[in-house]
A and B are shown apart, each in its own frame.
Chain A
Amino acid sequence: MRSALNLAQNDEEVDRVDDPAVLKQAMVRVAQAQDREAFQLLFSYFAPRVKAVLLKAGSQESQAEDLMQDVMMTVWRKAKLYAPERGSVNAWVFTVARNARIDLLRRASSRPYDDVYEIELESDVASGEDNMFETERAERVSEALAELPEDQRQIIELGFIEDMSQSEIAKKLDLPLGTVKSRMRLAYGKMKSKLEAVR
């Protein structure tokens, strides 16, 4: 009961900030001015989502709460690595959560991912025009995913949200590994053709 109430509350807050441009602006203010109000907005939007993803990926409740804290802390600490011209805040926070899972659960290193972000920042950036384009990119990706057939969408969800490996997905769905791979490629291909249509 309590969780249902909380959820409703979260949804109301979400209505006010569910706009990629608002999130992006907030993220930039956090990076440039350590703006806590902006960060609070990001926190109220992302913390329940990050925690949900961690739970779906197999964390226990208390571990998910702690990990969520670490993820949001990293969003704050590494704010300057976020390149607004290069992608949505959603995708950025997703990668921070992904990296936390890699570092903490698998004991590998997410360092290479950060290095790639740094390179991205440094490579020729983006005028206001590209900024528009990047928002459009994120929209195209969403469109493509909304149109995916269920069998492809399910594989994407298992891989990105439930943190399953390709071979785990194959086992769970009782499919050959090759089929999992080809469905992934199909899903990706659809997204790509949507993106190319706007290029």
Chain B
Amino acid sequence: MNIHHHLDEATLLRYASGDLDSAFTMVVAAHLAMCDSCRQAARDAEEIGGHMMDRVAQAPVSSNAFEKMMARIDAGQDEQIEVDVSRHKKADSDVPLPLRNLIGDHLDDVRWRLVAPGVRKHEIKMGKKGESSLYMLNISPGMAMPEHGHGGAEMTLILSGAYRDKLGVFGPGDVADLDEHIEHQPVVEPGEACICLVATETPTRFKDFIVRLMQPFVRI
């Protein structure tokens, strides 16, 4: 896959240290499923964790800890998990593996709700209340998303189609990993709708976003 826009390094470290909430973790994991180079980078970041853990002052464990564990295994409650490595490349799926647990195998099966002309949304419920929200957008060709300053961090992964903004063209696999202060104005490229997965830090933000979408669009 030809990917041009990758994860921020600070994001990779947050993913590796477990500092992202479920919505952002999902967008990152979905990008990693599509991007070999970020996957390697995440591995390297996890090596940092391994190194730090290796050097920590050890804490004594209870003297029968190992026997306790063997007893659990003998009792048969803790069998080894088999791994099915063919799931990822399942021929008829166009959804990155981590996301399949949430929306199924096909983008076509996603149920959209029209929220503005040319803009469809599918909310994904996950995580705890008050955490970042996760949703998908399906935006028609030529449609401009109005400029929206970000109240918090936002991450957008393109699953199909493409949009263009001042940072360039974002196509399948590309991720816009944006800091709070970056302003951008994506316009969907002609030809096909753009389907993307979005995590935003502040749930209320989307309301502003919709309000702005209701305002006249710039069309190309």
Do they bind each other?
A: yes
Across the two chains, which residue of chain B brings its CB closest to A3? B60
Interface of B is mostly: helix
What is the interface size of chain B, counting residues whose CB is below 8 A from a CB of the partner? Answer: 67
CA A95 – CA B45 in complex, angstroms?
11
Contact A73–B69 (Cβ < 8 Å) = yes
Residue B120 lies at the interface, judged by CB distance under 8 Å to chain A: no
Residue A151 lies at the interface, judged by CB distance under 8 Å to chain B: no
Query: Which residues does chain B contribute within 8 Å of A34, judged by CB atoms?
Result: 80
CA A133 – CA B60 in complex, angstroms?
34
Known: A49-B54, A166-B19. A141 touches B47 (CB 8 A): yes
Known: A94-B46, A138-B47, A142-B51. A10 touches B87 (CB 8 A): no
Contact A184–B89 (Cβ < 8 Å) = no
A79-109: CB near B (< 8 Å → 1, else 0) gives: 1110000111111111101110110001111
Query: Which residues does chain B contribute within 8 Å of A121, judged by CB atoms?
Result: 83, 85
Q: Determine, out of B10-18, B103-111, B137-145, B187-195, the stretch whose residues face the partner at the interface.
A: B10-18
Query: Which residues does chain A contribute within 8 Å of B127, judged by CB atoms?
Result: 108
B141-156: CB near A (< 8 Å → 1, else 0) gives: 0000000000000000
Contact A43–B69 (Cβ < 8 Å) = yes
Query: Which residues does chain A contribute within 8 Å of B43, judged by CB atoms?
Result: 86-87, 91, 120
Query: Which residues does chain B contribute within 8 Å of A99, judged by CB atoms?
Result: 18
Across the two chains, which residue of chain A brings its CB closest to B41? A192
Across the two chains, which residue of chain A brings its CB closest to B127? A108
Query: Which residues does chain B contribute within 8 Å of A36, judged by CB atoms?
Result: 70
| Choice from A10, A112, A192 contacting B44 with Cβ under 8 Å | A192
Query: Which residues does chain A contribute within 8 Å of B16, judged by CB atoms?
Result: 95, 98, 160
Query: Which residues does chain A contribute within 8 Å of B41, judged by CB atoms?
Result: 192
Residue B169 lies at the interface, judged by CB distance under 8 Å to chain A: no
Known: A159-B13, A184-B10, A185-B10. A73 touches B50 (CB 8 A): no
| Choice from B39, B98, B128 contacting A107 with Cβ under 8 Å | B128
CA A69 – CA B59 in complex, angstroms?
13
Query: Which residues does chain A contribute within 8 Å of B158, judged by CB atoms?
Result: none
Query: Which residues does chain B contribute within 8 Å of A141, judged by CB atoms?
Result: 44, 47-48, 50-51
A14-54: CB near B (< 8 Å → 1, else 0) gives: 00000000000000000100101000100110011111110
Shortest Cβ gap from B86 to chain A (Å): 7
Contact B81–A78 (Cβ < 8 Å) = yes
Residue B88 lies at the interface, judged by CB distance under 8 Å to chain A: yes
Query: Which residues does chain A contribute within 8 Å of B83, judged by CB atoms?
Result: 80-81, 118, 121
Across the two chains, which residue of chain B brings its CB closest to A64? B59
Shortest Cβ gap from B213 to chain A (Å): 29
Residue B202 lies at the interface, judged by CB distance under 8 Å to chain A: no
Residue B215 lies at the interface, judged by CB distance under 8 Å to chain A: no
Cβ contacts A to B, 10 pairs, < 8 Å: A7-B58, A53-B56, A76-B80, A86-B43, A95-B16, A98-B17, A106-B21, A108-B22, A108-B128, A112-B28
Residues of A near any B CB (own CB < 8 A): 2-3, 6-7, 10-11, 31, 34, 36, 40, 43-44, 47-53, 55-56, 64-65, 68-69, 72-73, 76-81, 86-95, 97-99, 101-102, 106-109, 111-113, 115-116, 118-123, 137-138, 141-142, 145, 156-157, 159-161, 163-166, 181, 184-185, 187-189, 191-192, 195
- 5 extra A-B contacts, CB within 8 A, seeds A87-B43, A184-B13, A187-B13: A48-B58, A49-B54, A98-B49, A116-B29, A138-B50
